Chain A
Amino acid sequence: QKEVEQDPGPLSVPEGAIVSLNCTYSNSAFQYFMWYRQYSRKGPELLMYTYSSGNKEDGRFTAQVDKSSKYISLFIRDSQPSDSATYLCAMSYGGATNKLIFGTGTLLAVQP
């Protein structure tokens, strides 16, 4: 079993739709949770960063962490064609080693 599971998609939605992206994980020691956006043949871009359980909002993006269920989500409101990319969840134990454990990514296509 992988430490972090993410549905690879592809996920296709019409412009303006609300998008829900999710990851599950198996290790309760994860403390820090991130969402990255990666355009084709580019480097990952940090979108959202959360620590422990709860919600965090930034513009059209909302990140949720439910540590009791080992489940994290990213919601995108009013989706735009420019949001079409691969979305990667990532997690870290923190502490002395800060390595990120990534999901495999969900490919999102927002149709105009």
Chain B
Amino acid sequence: NAGVMQNPRHLVRRRGQEARLRCSPMKGHSHVYWYRQLPEEGLKFMVYLQKENIIDESGMPKERFSAEFPKEGPSILRIQQVVRGDSAAYFCASSDPFSRTGTPYEQYFGPGTRLTVT
């Protein structure tokens, strides 16, 4: 059973460029979460999505950041006009709201995308 997949694993962008991070949830999972981990800081929640719906975006910066989870295909976290402060590890997690073996609140994380802005 494949886990959460993220690509690319490493991404280098120059200031002002756009960054697109992709996340494919675990098989059977329909809920996706994005978190950011800055150097020397803990993981911070950014956004929670279901297919075609944003459920909670309370952790998303108001500008330049957007996320989507289309009916088909992976979830995308998009950062426009990147700045050096966006350099971080971005993690995606998924959960199964109808889990029969665990609970709907267990979140499983992918390996992350490390974004470096030069």
Contacts and interface: CB of A to CB of B under 8 A. Distances in A.
Nearest to A95: B105
Given A44-B109, A98-B31, A98-B107, A49 B102 contact: yes
Interface residues of A, number: 26
Contacts of B110: 43
B108 A98 contact: no
B105 A99 contact: no
A45 interface: yes
A92 B45 CA distance: 11
Interface residues of B, number: 29
A99 B43 contact: no
Given A44-B91, A99-B45, 11 more contacts: A41-B114, A43-B112, A46-B106, A46-B108, A49-B103, A51-B103, A97-B55, A98-B33, A98-B107, A99-B48, A100-B107
Interface of B: 4, 31, 33, 35, 41-45, 48, 55-56, 58-59, 91, 93, 95, 102-112, 114
A66 B104 CA distance: 22
Contacts of B33: 98-100
B99 to A, nearest CB: 11
A60 interface: no
Nearest to A104: B42
14 contacts: A6-B42, A42-B111, A46-B106, A49-B102, A49-B105, A49-B106, A88-B43, A92-B105, A97-B48, A99-B58, A100-B43, A100-B107, A101-B45, A102-B43
